[in-house]
Amino acid sequence: MPAVSKGDGMRGLAVFISDIRNCKSKEAEIKRINKELANIRSKFKGDKALDGYSKKKYVCKLLFIFLLGHDIDFGHMEAVNLLSSNRYTEKQIGYLFISVLVNSNSELIRLINNAIKNDLASRNPTFMGLALHCIANVGSREMAEAFAGEIPKILVAGDTMDSVKQSAALCLLRLYRTSPDFVPMGDWTSRVVHLLNDQHLGVVTAATSLITTLAQKNPEEFKTSVSLAVSRLSRIVTSASTDLQDYTYYFVPAPWLSVKLLRLLQCYPPPEDAAVRGRLTECLETILNKAQEPPKSKKVQHSNAKNAVLFEAISLIIHHDSEPNLLVRACNQLGQFLQHRETNLRYLALESMCTLASSEFSHEAVKTHIETVINALKTERDVSVRQRAVDLLYAMCDRSNAQQIVAEMLNYLETADYSIREEIVLKVAILAEKYAVDYTWYVDTILNLIRIAGDYVSEEVWYRVIQIVINRDDVQGYAAKTVFEALQAPACHENLVKVGGYILGEFGNLIAGDPRSSPLIQFNLLHSKFHLCSVPTRALLLSTYIKFVNLFPEIKTTIQDVLRSDSQLKNADVELQQRAVEYLRLSTIASTDILATVLEEMPPFPERESSILAKLKKKKGPGTVTDLEDIKKERNSDMNGGTESTPVNASTASTPSPSADLLGLGAAPVTSSAPPPSSTGSLLVDVFSDSASVVAPLAPGSEDNFARFVCKNNGVLFENQLLQIGLKSEFRQNLGRMFIFYGNKTSTQFLNFTPTLICSDELKSNILDLTEPLDMQIAVYALITVCQMHK
Amino acid sequence: MIKFFLMVNKQGQTRLSRYYEHVEIPKRTMLEAEVIKNCLSRSKEQCSFIEYKDFKLVYRQYAALFIVVGINETENEMAVYELIHNFVEVLDRYFSRVKCFIMFNLDRVHIILDEMVLNGCIVETNKNRILAPLLVLDKMAES
């Protein structure tokens, strides 16, 4: 065993290093370094040309000083000079310096490139190796330009030494990464694939790394590598421990190479050729079997290496997602690891299981481990392991265990690390919405969420809960009651005040009957929080107050007093002041009818993708979450898409004129028995069902249109986001004809669209002809011909 | 790919650093300080993989020395964990007692590391093959 060779060993350097180590303080160290730097500087500038040994020594010292953290701004020239020396040691120090202290001085780059070119052409494997190492570690664009053509040739030439091949492969990889345009695909690609069959496993390792990256951009070129990789892998895995000699690490044959080959296979889909596929399956089964066998060595290194290969194999199985029994075996193996003594294994098992949960074959198997995962969540001491457990719970959630998982996540949230709270909040919100069978549970969950982690509840979450409460009638009363009770807590979060304010403003009337939640009590409750809130919340509360004026006329004067107070009317914030002034005025001058119309209950929100999901995707970045979500959507397409078709009945308009009668009827009846087909699996499907909540005979907003037709024959009668109803009428003497146009404003087709004409008996007799509506995608029109007999 | 390979002692002084993608000098010191802070605050029951910014750190402690490797998501964590150990075993074989002599023979340690990891990829793990060029070098020096 060679001792530390001092023969070539630069005595001065050793002395220098001992000096530094002996320095007692930072200042002493800096002083010593500066002294040395001055010395070196003078030596470099000196007239006498330095001999190779001295140059090497000084450059080495500079390198060491750099390592200590001081910037070096000279010495590069000398290092470049060392490159052209013929002695290996000097050359090596020169290259080391260059590759560690990269600098973009153009003069030097040219010289460096020249030196490298000479070395590459020298055919001396050691020199070539050094040069290639340098290119691989520096890999600047100029180098790429200069050498990208040559390297592939060196790589596939028959007479290159193995070690040079290794370096060349990785050199090419580096150049490809930095400047892919300089490395075109050529006929060398097929030869590179053949390197996988090489005797020397080091070459195979390097080639695999290269092919893995290249295959990601040019999969077609490297398709043939799949079968070679599989055969290589099976040879390694089935080899006895004596075969591979030095490449066996603690009784595990070539673990790093196996891992790399498995990674390469993950770039491609499962092989089509049955023989290759069979071999691969066999190979994977062998790896899984080995994991079950008793270990050949007690050392932790043996099990670590074995498990490294195992985890990579499991990744491959998950990636292929085609063999159910392999997936189930993998899942069981991971399940065993979940309770292993070693934290590392538990961490990796949780991570792998997360990806496993999204595969349809193994989803059920993953769910069986839910108790273990929940336990891990509660008892793990390492926060990153707990985080993985949360991710896994999110991935394995489905209808059957949603309530349990959401409850556990809420529990965890109370003690979670601050940096991850927002993510957990978003996840809980998404899960609660997706799997809510009973929306009262959903409302409870969100309110709990606000209570526990109010600061981290972003806007999207509470917007969503409001949207859902407004769109669903059945939960409105419950929401109002729960919010009211929650607000009574002495310290409640501002987000809760926002949600509470909004909901009570809309649906406070539903609980006003109960003496404990009478209008005045509701108002006082909200107002007690008023001064503790920020400006946007106060603005929202002011809107709520005016809604109260409409809902509960008995407390109008109280509210008006509040609005009239100086702190509102002369408020520093413009928005609040404006609202206070306008609402006050509105409440004083508007009649009850107008007030009722203006402050009418919110119409149901239209369908759109959950913004919470979008926010989570943005947070996590592309990849895991989006895939899981898409897969979940496809699998559970009719999750909450309860197709509710509520036939809507319009009541007859009570206005006198006959033509107005007919007009009033055209507006309301719209039935659709299926939701627009594009939104498979979207979270809220009920678009039409809630038009029943439109109580007024005429849809709001169409009153003006309606009145217009007293003196006009043509025009738009009614319009909303989905439908536009236009009218065109002609009258001649005693005959009248009306065309009613129903325009479809969405991009999807209405199915079973049936307009119903309802009119009083008296008029019915006067209808001569009612054409059946035609089915068209864009517009449907009905033609009514009326004959008015003078009576 | 492997982003960097560091050997840091418990006082936070870097003994060896190798970066496989370009990082500015001031950023390096900051990175090293933060990384060592993260590693020092871990206890024995915690796992050896830390999520740091947008990549992972794999670390292993040998007495007063920490070896920390930064990897991105394309690397297998367990394999890198064992790579660290392999590296230490190679050093052990070459120098009789590792710790004192690393600083005095930084260039040799760099050579060994370069033989094992090139451009962020593991290239050679066979101890004999790694040490072969060094042994040749030593023989040349003696003669």
* ipTM computed for the complex: 0.75
Instruction: Answer whether A260's CB lies under 8 Å from B75's CB.
Output: no
State the DSSP code for A604. Answer: P
The distance of A63 to chain B (nearest Cα, Å) reads: 9
Inter-chain CB proximity A344 and B47 less than 8 Å = yes
Q: pLDDT > 70: what percent of chain A?
A: 80
From A743, A749, A738, select the one nearest A782 (Cα to Cα). A738
The size of the A-B interface in CB pairs under 8 A is: 160
A619-643 residue pLDDT tens? 765 444 444 444 444 444 333 333 3
Q: What is the total residue count of chain B?
A: 143
Q: Which residues of B touch A308 (CB under 8 A)?
A: 76, 78-79, 81-82
The residue among A57, A70, A137, A257 with the most chain B CBs within 10 A of its CB, best to mutate, is A137
Q: Could you give the angle at which helices A370-379 and A383-395 cross, rounded to 10 degrees?
A: 150
Question: How many Å apart are CA B104 and CA A16, to the nearest integer?
Answer: 10
Q: pLDDT > 90: what percent of chain A?
A: 0
Read off the pLDDT of each residue in A561-584 and give the average, rounded to a whole number.
Answer: 85
More confident residue, A313 or A3: A313
Stretch among A366-375, A603-612, B13-22 having the lowest mean pLDDT: A603-612
Which member of A2, A64, A382 has the closest CB to residue B106? A64
Which member of A68, A205, A387 has the closest CB to residue B122? A205
Instruction: Answer whether A390's CB lies under 8 Å from A427's CB.
Output: yes
pLDDT of residue A327 exceeding 80, the answer is yes
B119 Cβ under 8 Å from any chain A Cβ: yes
Residue tagged 């600061």 (tokens): A455
A53 Cβ under 8 Å from any chain B Cβ: no
Read off the pLDDT of each residue in B84-100 and give the average, rounded to a whole number.
Answer: 78
Instruction: Answer whether A127's CB lies under 8 Å from A119's CB.
Output: yes
Put simply, the chain A residues between 239 and 298 with a CB less than 8 A from any chain B CB are 246-247, 249, 254-257, 259-260, 263
Stretch among A53-62, A293-302, A686-695 having the lowest mean pLDDT: A686-695
Inter-chain CB proximity B125 and A346 less than 8 Å = no
Q: What is the pLDDT of residue A776?
A: 47
Stretch among A460-474, A682-696, A744-758, A775-789 having the lowest mean pLDDT: A682-696
Give pairs for A368-373: CB < 8 Å, separation 24+: A368/A335, A369/A335, A369/A338, A370/A396, A370/A401, A370/A404, A370/A405, A372/A335, A372/A338, A372/A339, A373/A338
Q: What is the pLDDT of residue A785?
A: 61
A385-437 residue pLDDT tens? 888 888 888 888 888 888 888 888 888 888 887 877 888 888 888 888 888 88
Sign of torsion, CA A265 A267 A269 A275? Answer: negative
Q: What is the pLDDT of residue A547?
A: 87
CATH number of B2-142: 3.30.450.60
Confidence of residue B143 (pLDDT cuts 50, 70, 90): low
Inter-chain CB proximity A263 and B45 less than 8 Å = no
Confidence of residue A100 (pLDDT cuts 50, 70, 90): confident
Confidence of residue A166 (pLDDT cuts 50, 70, 90): confident
Q: What is the total residue count of chain A?
A: 791
* Phi, psi torsion values for A51, nearest 5 degrees: -80, 170
Half-sphere exposure (Cβ direction) of A52: Cα atoms closer than 13 Å: 14
From A230, A627, A100, A482, select the one nearest B18 (Cα to Cα). A100
- The enclosing H or E element of A613 equals helix A611-620
Residue A559 contacts by C-beta under 8 Å, 6 or more apart in sequence?
A523, A545, A546, A548, A549, A587
A36 Cβ under 8 Å from any chain B Cβ: no
A7 Cβ under 8 Å from any chain B Cβ: yes
Q: What is the mean pLDDT of chain A?
A: 76
Question: How many Å apart are CA A686 and CA A672, to the nearest integer?
Answer: 11
Classify A369 as helix, strand or coil. Answer: coil
pLDDT of residue A654 exceeding 70, the answer is no
> Full-prediction pTM beyond 0.80?
no
Confidence of residue B69 (pLDDT cuts 50, 70, 90): very high
Residue A159 contacts by C-beta under 8 Å, 6 or more apart in sequence?
none
